[in-house]
A and B are shown apart, each in its own frame.
Chain A
Amino acid sequence: GQQLNQSPQSMFIQEGEDVSMNCTSSSIFNTWLWYKQDPGEGPVLLIALYKAGELTSNGRLTAQFGITRKDSFLNISASIPSDVGIYFCAGSNAGNNRKLIWGLGTSLAVNP
């Protein structure tokens, strides 16, 4: 099936650093979602974006829906050890709103 290009694949950072990750698609999406998965658990929704250009924050997390509707990014400011996990992007297009297209994830490790 179709997949999104999510980068970077993994990151190892120092506590306090800012983090940025992004997803790109070859087709236009009308929804972008960002999820975090803690080790051994199911993914949990962080931020949902529904409009091109939309910029939404959730605490130290900020995500944007790209103007072209083919990309999105997630930033984490002032990282802390509990930010460790896998971050997934997902998108859907008008053709099939029930079926999300997923990135392969960004694995984040934070050194205290």
Chain B
Amino acid sequence: DVKVTQSSRYLVKRTGEKVFLECVQDMDHENMFWYRQDPGLGLRLIYFSYDVKMKEKGDIPEGYSVSREKKERFSLILESASTNQTSMYLCASMGQGSGNTIYFGEGSWLTVV
């Protein structure tokens, strides 16, 4: 089974702090994604990466950056956290030629106070 592991399930951070959300997948997938999920808004794509050191903006990249130094690891960075970034963050991965099947981690609940 594909395993996507998010390092933190629950975080509380202060406004202005730099926040790192880490994600690791164990299936050698080329593609990795970061989504945020808010009530009534569904899943919104922040950034994705299709190869090491490669990244593309999703639908809501403002206020976020990402890092993919190794194939199995994809990090989401909030340079200066704000209260409107309080949300559930979901990491996902997908292999090439896997029929677009995307596998999610368990999610990270971030509260910015």
Interface residues of A (CB under 8 A from B): 1, 3, 31, 33, 35, 40-45, 48, 50, 88, 90, 92, 97-100, 102-105
Chain A: interface secondary structure? Answer: loop
Q: How far is the CB of B99 from chain A (nearest CB, A)?
A: 6
| 7 smallest beta-carbon distances between A and B, as pairs | A42-B104, A1-B59, A104-B42, A31-B100, A102-B43, A92-B100, A42-B107
* A1 in contact with B105 given A31-B99, A31-B100 (CB within 8 Å): no
* Contact in complex: B42, A3 (CB < 8 Å): yes
9-residue interface stretch from B11-19, B44-52, B66-74, B76-84: B44-52
**Interface status of B106 (Cβ within 8 A of chain A):** yes
* Contact in complex: B42, A41 (CB < 8 Å): no
Q: For A45, what are the chain B residues with a Cβ–Cβ distance below 8 Å?
A: 101-103
Q: How far is the CB of B89 from chain A (nearest CB, A)?
A: 10
Q: How far is the CB of B81 from chain A (nearest CB, A)?
A: 22
Cα A78 to Cα B93 in complex, Å, equals 32
* Contact in complex: B48, A99 (CB < 8 Å): yes
Q: For A40, what are the chain B residues with a Cβ–Cβ distance below 8 Å?
A: 107
